């Protein structure tokens, strides 16, 4: 697909999609979104890049291999649950801290957010692992 229009469009849209996916991920706890939706949007952004330009180019912008993303995501999800063990709580219990930041005033950070990042990474990883390999095939 060597349409210049598509290539340019994809190059412009992809960062927006990635930004939007991060927004979905971070706001997912209070608004519609979350790791599943965010991860899928991000994966779709990379797919768009791969379709419009080239798989290898898309792979290069990914920095990490999809398999590494899956591993990293599972690790995040696991670690988020293990914190609770050190606090003497059952595995996977959520722990929360309140951060005082200058701009946002109070921000609540908890282990479920780490878990959601794990979900996000795994979803990106599996989607791209399958689709990119299919495209290269």
Partner 1 sequence: MEILLAIIIGILFSCALYLMLRRSLIKVVIGLALLSQAANLLIFTAAGLHRGDPPLIPEDAVAPIGAHADPLPQALVLTAIVIGFGVLAFTLVLFQRAYMIIGTDDLDQMRSTDTESTDLKTLPQQEIHEH
Partner 2 sequence: MLYTILAPFLLAVLAPLLHHRLKDLSGWLFALVPLGVFLYYLSQVPQIAAGEPVYQSYAWVESLGISLSFYLDGLSLLFALLISGIGALIVVYTGAYLGQDVNVHRFYLALLAFMGSMLGVVLSGNLITLFIFWELTSITSYLLIGYDHHKQEARTAALQALLVTGGGGLALLAGLILMGHATGTYDIPTILQSGDMLREHALYLPILLLLLAGAFTKSAQFPFHFWLPNAMAAPTPASAYLHSSTMVKAGIYLLARMQPVMGDTPPWFYLVAIGGSLTLVVSAYLAMRQVILKKLLAYTTVGALGLITTCLGIGTDYALKAAMTFLLVHALYKATLFMVAGGISHSTHLYDTEKLGGLGRIMPFTALGAGLAGLSMAGIPPFLGFIGKESVYEAGLASPGAMLWLTLTLLLAAVVNLFVGLLIAWKPFWTTLDAPLSEAHEGNVGLWLGPVLLGSLGLILGFIPGTTALYIVGPAVAATAGEAIPVSLSHWHGFNLALLLSVITVALGILAYRFRHPLRRLLEAPGRLDPAGPERGYHRLVEGMLWVSKKQTCLLQNGYLRVYIFTVISFLVALPIYTLVAGGGVPIPPEWPSFKLYELGIAFLIAGAAIGAACTNSRLTAVVCLGAVGYGVSLVYIFYGAPDLAMTQFVIETLTVLIFVLVLYRLPRFTHFTSEFVKYRDMLLAGGAGVFVTILTIAALKVEIAPTISTYFAEQSVPMAHGRNIVNVILVDFRSLDTMGELLVLAIAALGAYGLLRLNKDEKKDKV
Give the per-residue contact string, 4-23, with partner 2 (x = CB under 8 A; - = no): --------------------
Terminal CA-CA length for the chain? 16
Establish if 73 lies at the interface with partner 2 (CB under 8 A): yes
Of residues 10, 14, 41, 62, which one binds partner 2 by CB under 8 A? Answer: 41
Per the CB < 8 A criterion, the answer to whether 50 and 1 are in contact is no
Establish if 108 lies at the interface with partner 1 (CB under 8 A): no
State the minimum distance, in angstroms, from the CB of residue 60 to partner 1.
23
Report the site for partner 1 in 21-80 (rule: CB under 8 A). Answer: 30-32, 36, 40
Report the site for partner 2 in 78-107 (rule: CB under 8 A). Answer: 78, 80-81, 91-92, 94, 96
Establish if 104 lies at the interface with partner 1 (CB under 8 A): no
Which ranges of 53-104 does DSSP label H, i.e. alpha helix? 55-62, 66-86
CA-nearest of 31, 10, 25 to 114 is: 25
CA-nearest of 136, 124, 132 to 21 is: 124
What angle separates helix 35-52 from helix 4-27, to the nearest 10 degrees?
170
118 contacts: CB under 8 Å, gap ≥ 6: 35, 73, 74, 75, 76, 77, 78, 80
Which residues contact partner 2 by CB under 8 A? 24, 28-37, 40-41, 43-44, 47, 51, 66-67, 70, 73-74, 77-78, 80-81, 91-92, 94, 96, 108, 110, 112-113, 115-116, 118-119, 122-123, 125-127, 129-131, 133-135, 137
């Amino acid at each position: 697909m060597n349409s210049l229009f598509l290539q340019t469009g994809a190059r412009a849209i992809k960062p927006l999609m990635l930004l939007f996916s991060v927004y979905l991920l971070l706001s997912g706890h209070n608004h519609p979104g979350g790791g599943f939706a965010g991860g899928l949007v991000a994966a779709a952004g990379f797919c768009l890049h791969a379709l419009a330009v080239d798989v290898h180019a898309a792979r290069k912008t990914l920095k990490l291999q999809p398999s590494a993303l899956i591993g990293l995501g599972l690790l995040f999800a696991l670690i988020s649950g293990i914190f609770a063990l050190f606090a003497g709580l059952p595995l996977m219990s959520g722990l929360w801290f309140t951060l005082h930041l200058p701009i946002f005033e109070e921000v609540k950070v908890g282990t479920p957010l780490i878990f959601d990042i794990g979900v996000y990474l795994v979803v990106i990883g599996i989607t791209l692992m399958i689709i990119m390999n299919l495209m290269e095939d």
